[in-house]
Amino acid sequence: MTTDGSGGRLPVALRTEALEQLLTERGLIDPKVMDGLITDYETNVGPLNGAKVVARAWTDPRYRRRLLEEGTAAIKELGFSGPQGEHIVVVENTATTHNVVVCTLCSCYPWPVLGLPPSWYKDPAYRARMVKEPRKVLSEMGLELAEDVRITVRDSTSEVRWLVLPERPAGTERLSEEQLVPLVTRDAMVGVAKVKAP
C-alpha cells in the first residue's frame, strides 16, 4: 500500500503518478506514448462512439425513439457497452430546453460513449457551480443560451449516467449519418456546447 509517511493513503493522482514514474524508470512504458493514448481515448475513440449514436438518432427516427426510451439498450445496438455504461439515460436538447450533465459527488461519466472524462468535468468548481448557476457557467464555457431556454442540470451517479442528444444544427438536413459524425463533439453530448453546422 502506498502511504503518505504517516500511514494514510496517498491520493489516487499521486499514486498514479508514482506508478507511472516507476514503470518509466524500468523502461516498461514510454510517457509520450501513454500521453498520446490517453489523449486519443479522451478526445477521439470514446467521443466518436457517442457521435455515432447521435448521428444515428438524427437520421433514424425509430432509433431516436428507442434511444430516448431505453438509452442503454439502444446504445448497445451499435456495439457500445461496458463498465461505466451499464445504465445510460439519454435526454434531448431542443430550441427551448437545454440539458447539461454534471456529477456532483465525483466524476461518474458514460465511458463507452464519451471516453475518459475531461479534467474540467472532474473539477470541484464545475461540479458545484453548474448546479447553482448553470447559465453563468455555460456562458463562461462559451455557450450563450437565450433567457427563455430552460436549463435542466442532470446529475450523473453510479446508478445513472446521462448522455445529451444535442439539437441537430440547421443546414445539415442533407448530410448522411457518416457526414454528421465528425460534427458531434464530446462537449455537445455533455451539454456544455452546441453542435455547429459545417
Give residue 103's pLDDT: 95
**Is 103 known to be catalytic?**
yes
Q: Is 197 part of a structural domain of the chain?
A: no
Which one of the listed residues 81, 107, 156, 176 is annotated catalytic? Answer: 107
**Is 158 known to be catalytic?**
no
Q: Is 70 part of a structural domain of the chain?
A: yes
Give residue 41's pLDDT: 60
**Is 156 known to be catalytic?**
no
CA–CA separation, 177 vs 88, rounded Å? 22
pLDDT 10s digits, 33-84: 777 666 666 655 679 999 999 999 999 999 999 999 999 999 999 999 888 8
Which one of the listed residues 106, 119, 139, 158 is annotated catalytic? Answer: 106
Q: How many domains does the chain have?
A: 1
Instruction: Write the CATH number for 76.
Output: 3.90.330.10
Burial classification of residue 102, based on how many CB atoms lie within 10 Å of its CB (0-12 exposed, 13-18 middle, 19 or more buried): buried
Q: Is 19 part of a structural domain of the chain?
A: yes
Which one of the listed residues 81, 108, 119, 139 is annotated catalytic? Answer: 108
Rounded to two decimals, what is the model's pTM? 0.80
pLDDT 10s digits, 137-185: 999 999 999 999 999 999 999 899 999 999 999 999 999 999 999 999 9
Q: Is 198 part of a structural domain of the chain?
A: no
**Is 106 known to be catalytic?**
yes
Contact 173, 122 (CB under 8 A): no
